[in-house]
Amino acid sequence: MVAAASPRLDEAFDALGNVHRRRLLMGLRRRRHARLEAATRDAAVGGGRNRDRLEVELFHVHLPKLADAGFVEWNRHLGSVARGPRFDEIEPLLRFLDENAGELSAGGCD
């Protein structure tokens, strides 16, 4: 029996579908809020990306997407990112990814 896809689950997988969004959300799992610079460092870990370019990408693509989904609260003016009202819905998936990082990265999940 195959479980029917849930719009909320689809939204969570969409949010986690990009390595930079995953890393940013993992950073917020460790601490409740961050400045954009710290969120950029979290998103860049192990990625070899230009941080200035990544910060622009976060500002224009990833943070709006995560904020629209309610997973983060993002204050553009203050440059701060915090857990959003729906963060608790995605936290079990983040915990699973964190606890199984060794097994999952061997399969190319990172």
Token readout for 14 is: 């969409």
pLDDT of residue 1: 47
- Whole-prediction pTM: 0.80
pLDDT of residue 28: 93
Token readout for 78 is: 């203050």
Compute how many other C-beta atoms are within 10 angstroms of the C-beta atom of residue 12: 21
- pLDDT tens string, the chain, 110 residues long: the values are 455 556 688 999 999 999 889 989 999 998 888 877 877 777 777 655 677 788 888 889 999 999 999 999 999 888 899 999 999 999 999 999 888 877 766 444 45
pLDDT of residue 107: 42
pLDDT of residue 108: 42
Contacts of range 98-106, beta carbons closer than 8 Å, 24 or more positions apart: 98/26, 98/29
Q: Which domains does the chain possess?
A: 15-100 (1.10.10)
